[in-house]
Amino acid sequence: MTFRILAAATAVSTLALAAHAQDRTEIDFWHAMGGDLGERTDEFATSFNGLQDQCQVNAVYQGNYTETLTTAVAAFRAGEQPHIVQVFEVGTATMMAAEGAVYPVYEVFADAGLEFDPSRYVPGVISYYTDTDGRMLSLPFNSSTPVLWINQDAFAEAGLEIPTTWAEVEEAARAFKEAGVEAPLSFGWQSWVMLENFGAWHDVPFATQANGFAGTDAELVFNTEPFVNHIARLGDMSEEGLFVYGGRRGDSAAMFHSGDTPMYFNSSAYFGNFTQNADFEFTQVMMPLDTSLADAAQNSIIGGATLWTLRGHSPEEYTCVAEFLNYLSETEVQADWAQATGYVPITTAAADLMEERGFYAENPGTNVAVEQLSLNAPTENSNGIRLGNFVQIRDIINEELEAVWAGNKSAQEALDAAVTRGNDLLRRFEAAN
């Protein structure tokens, strides 16, 4: 069922919906999707509400990922928690440690009498959100992975080949700079892209204890030579004007879709943004390889968020939660969402449907995210990052990397400081859990 069909199926008057609302079981869904993504997220609730008359989902935007998580925690402490909250992947350890607050999704389905088959979900996506027994704790909603976005028109005009190694990225950036391009390279979500995924891509540990999956006593180790050399390279590129920092999160996205920056690292989920805003041909390609570290890439790790169910409500309400989560997993719903946004389809059936529709063939590069995530069976270094207080640790990493880009610290100094400060937060988390 496409978004167009869903919209038609929910063409019910506001008065009619209001009349039926009092007979429905209401559930609250807090999310962190703004702009066009927020409109599409709200449409999920509207469409679901229009397809049946037992449940009413109220979708409410709560701000960015950090703000949504913080608000949900405060609401739970006050006994005013929503039924469903969207939490980004770095909040996974925090949610897992919230005993008594989280209602695992596999239990939500079972208690509602609905079949729940985890094998229908893409392995590279669900592995991040399962417990040690392989049971899914939350429902993947918007999953992505970093890619290298390429302005194809700019590359064609400059007569350059699309880079596949970091040495080639640097060479291409220098060629663009010599041709008068002010900002040849930039990126967003710098910890996720340039440290966490760089480590996974080259099978290098970001932290001990399998990047935190094996225990809360993990320690950060991203101040080792592979990471230091990588950040030092970027620092040198910044000084030379080959790389221009555009801010945290997705602040720098406009640098790419405006045409100012021909090479841009960020989430595959910017497909919808760039499709709407770029007036040039673009594509996404796999992240480049540092050939001094590996002969071939391992796999990338996911970003994005999942939907967590919070305890404290009635059985009838949780039945509606299960029905809504089941709806979000439907093949056509997932395929339409992935095609419109660039997020990875969370089920194999949705990915197959996108292939059958010819979406990947008509939009070259849109399959790169799935290919990167499934390139090889994940190792302890490439399964993801599951660390406590990681939201705050990312803030520390941002601060220290910004000192490198500003020329105020060396790569070694910055990463040493980030590891020391971050490990202090890990010990606080371990002590509290």
Residue 395 has a CB neighbour count (10 Å cut-off) of: 17
For the chain, what percent of residues have pLDDT higher than 90? 84
Q: Any idea how long the chain is?
A: 433
Percent of all residues in the chain with a pLDDT value above 70, rounded to a whole number: 95
| Model pLDDT, residue 126 | 77
Residue 319 has pLDDT above 50, yes or no: yes
Q: Read off the tokens for 342.
A: 């660039």
2-24 pLDDT, tens digit per residue, is 433 344 444 443 444 444 456 89
The answer to whether 217 and 93 have CB atoms below 8 angstroms apart is no
The span from the CA of 257 to the CA of 240, in Å, is: 23
State the average pLDDT for the chain: 92
* CATH superfamily membership of 3-144+302-361: Periplasmic binding protein-like II (3.40.190.10)
CB atoms within 10 A of CB 133: 6
CATH 3.40.190.10 residue ranges in the chain?
Answer: 3-144+302-361, 146-300+388-432
Give CA–CA dist 265/426, Å, rounded: 28
Q: What is the pLDDT of residues 108-165, one digit of tens each?
A: 999 999 988 888 887 777 777 888 788 899 999 999 999 999 999 999 999 999 999 9
> What's the CATH code, domain 146-300+388-432?
3.40.190.10
Q: At 366, phi and psi to the nearest 5?
A: -75, -10
**pLDDT tens-digit series, residues 338-356:** 999 999 998 889 999 999 9
The rounded distance, in Å, linking the Cα atoms of 48 and 3 is 12
pLDDT in tens, 214-253: 999 999 999 999 999 999 999 999 999 999 999 998 999 9
Amino acid sitting at position 302 = I
- pTM (predicted TM-score): 0.89
pLDDT at 65: 93
What sign has the CA pseudo-torsion 371, 374, 379, 382? Answer: positive
Alpha helices in 31-165 (DSSP H): 35-51, 65-77, 92-96, 105-111, 123-126, 152-158
Distance CA 433, CA 431 (A): 6
Beta strands 55-61 and 84-88: pairing type?
Answer: unpaired
